[in-house]
Structure 1
Amino acid sequence: MAARCLGQSLQLDGFLIERCDALTYQRLLFCLFSIAASVPVTVQGEPLIVEVVLSPLDAAEVPAQQTGVLKEIVVKEGAVVSEGETLARLDSRQAKLDVAKADLESAQAEAKATNRIRVKFAEKSLAVAQAELERSQESISQFAKSISQSQLDVERLTVEKLSLEAAQAEHELELDQFAWKLKQQEVAEAKLRLAQHEVQAPFAGTVALIWARRGEWVELGAPVVRLVAIDKLRAEGFLDVDLLTENLVGKEIIFHCGEGDQATTARGTLRFVSPEMDPVTRQVRVWAEIDNPSGEIRAGQQGTLEIEK
């Protein structure tokens, strides 16, 4: 927006506002300067400054994955845990019995699926019948009236019947093998349910809060422990859209908080710039990932981000 004074007239972006009284003229100038002052101005090359609030990059209300009585809480508030570490245990006696039962049923199904006695018997019976039919056919070829046609038909029918029985035995054995696989799947499911009676840490972090108490009944999905990771923090704030002259994602940042002896700085990387702008404030949400290996900086602190351009 360009404005130029012409005596008691004012030229604004090419439009000439004709001569006006002194009071109106002063008011127009005041409005123009106020608008100009409200537009963010940065010097080329200077870093952008954003006010931010810190929060854990990873935080979770770790839930119970099964329903039951909370038997044991392994950790205490403030404990530092690694990924996969057990935080609490539910009463798992019934789950252990279910695993034992599934193991027995699987063993029974395995014994049945690997038993080829019926198949072998059917194959042997078929071989005997075929040999008998072949001898009868040889006898007829040598002595035409030695065996009646009806007897020969019975022997052929016996061979066909035993052939079908051998195929049926193979089919039933295949079905038994499928049943064994299903029992193996049931064993895996029972073991999974047993493992789910332990509440485990989904990531490395610090126990911030214990929701449940030993002996309480815990429903499926109910939070048991709040776990936060403090080695990396999320610094979130808002930036004027007029300052987004380039893609800032991936830029190095410096976080500042505190004053004097309490001043703290940390480095990190800008991870996100929202594609949406607030139509009222003309600002976009941004957040950066800050390294905090010593845990010196706490979630909830406020400070500023210095974004290198």
Structure 2
Amino acid sequence: MPATRTLTFLFTICALILLATGGPVSADDQTSGSNELRIDSVLVSLIEQVEVPAREVGQLNQMLVKEGASVQKGDVLAQIEATEAMLLMQQAKLEFEMALLKDENDVNLRFAQKSHEVAKAELQRAEDSIKKYPKSISKTELDRLKLTADKAELEIEQAVEEAKTTHLEAKLKQNAEQIAELAVQKRKVVSPITGMVVQIMTREGEWVRPGDTVLRILKLDRLRAEGLINASQLLDRDLKNRPVVLLVNPGTKQQVEFKGKVSFVSPEVNPVNNQTRVWAEIENPDLKLKPGMRASLIIK
């Protein structure tokens, strides 16, 4: 009987402990006791990958990279036939230079201003002469001199308006030159991100159309580690931007660590298992971490 009472007493104590703590202590809960959370079996995946398209129709003349090549954002990866586009660009440049010279030429305006000065001077001399000698100049001649002065003034206004038109024409030619330059640039296949070329879809000599995928690039210097965590552990925690350590091959001689930070905690909770998604961005400067790897994540 004493042994039975002792056993009953022990079961009672255990039940009270479970009620007080809310259930059995999991591995995650033990980690959280040391101010860390551990998520086992996280999946490493890509944050960004791009299928780089052709932007103009034509024959692919030159492929400048191979699979496995590291490229920087803005690098030219391939070249589409651009001979006609370059000729049109040269033509547009020459037309713009001609329009610019015409815009900078103010000879007509200066000539109109000088003609107006001469006409005003002639009219003034005629009026002065009439004041001294009333019949020295006929009324018809005086009217002609006034008309010449008025005409010269109007020619100044006309020269000013023509200068405005010429300036706008120069701007139009400049715009046409920029459009022609853009047409040349669009025949270059340019990398939109920094990453690694992993697949070439189009080979030299093949015909491409706008939207056709030429090659595929993966961004590997920063990857995502995504896993699931029990929502009950997040009630009083804000994990956003917390530092993390990703462990590949944890507990073995081949264990490798990568650093990063939490970038997203899903606001949705799975009603079946009470888990939510968490992912962190992991720095991968040496490109040793690969998409598809499974690892463990420790959130500090």
Instruction: Specify the TM-score bucket, using the shorter chain as the normaliser.
Output: 0.7 to 0.9
Q: CA deviation at 1:41?
A: 7.0
Residue identity matched to 2:122 = E
2:131 pairs with one of 141, 154, 162:
141
**Whole-Å separation in 1 of the counterparts to 2:156 and 2:51:** 59
Q: Which blocks of at least 5 consecutive residues in structure 1 are unaligned?
A: 1-31
Aligned match of 2:245: 254
Deviations 1:73-121 (A, max 9, x none): 1111111223322211111111111111101111221222122222122
Instruction: Please say if residues 40 and 243 of structure 1, whose CA atoms lie closer than 8 Å, have aligned partners that are also in contact.
Output: no
Q: TM-score, normalised by structure 1?
A: 0.81
Distance 2:270 2:121 in 1: 91
Confirm or deny that 1:216 pairs with 2:216.
no
Query: Using the alignment, how far apart are the partners of 1:58 and 1:79 within structure 2?
Result: 17
Paired with 1:277 and 1:112, the residues of 2 have a C-alpha distance of 70
- 1:117 maps to 107
Identity rate, percent = 37
- Which position in structure 2 is the counterpart of 1:240? 230
CA distance in 1, matches of 2:277, 2:119: 85
Residue 154 of structure 2 corresponds to residue 164 of structure 1: yes
Does the 8 A contact of 1:40 with 1:242 survive in 2?
A: no
Contact conserved, 1:102 with 1:183, CA < 8 A, in 2? Answer: yes
SS of residue in 2 equivalent to 1:268: strand
Partner of 2:37: 48
1:100 aligns with 2:87: no
Matching residue's letter, 1:138? D
Alignment of 1:288 with 2:276, yes or no, is no
CA distance in 2, matches of 1:175, 1:283: 69
Q: Matches of 2:171 and 2:284 in 1, distance apart?
A: 49
Aligned-partner residue type, residue 118 of structure 1: N
Tell me which moved more, 232-241 or 86-95: 232-241
Query: Partner amino acid for 2:298?
Result: E
* 1:196 alignment partner in structure 2: 186
Structure 2 unaligned blocks of 5 or more: 1-18
What TM-score comes out, normalization by structure 2 length? 0.83
Shift of 1:237: 2.5
CA distance in 1, matches of 2:42, 2:243: 15
- Secondary structure of 2:220's match? strand
Question: Following TM superposition, by how much is the alpha carbon of 1:227 offset from its aligned partner in structure 2, in angstroms?
Answer: 1.0
Contact preservation (8 Å) 1:256, 1:265? yes
Structure 1 position 284, deviation (Å): 3.2
- TM-aligned CA distance change 1:278 to 1:218, over 3 Å: farther
Larger helix percent: 2
Q: How far is 1:36 from its partner?
A: 5.4
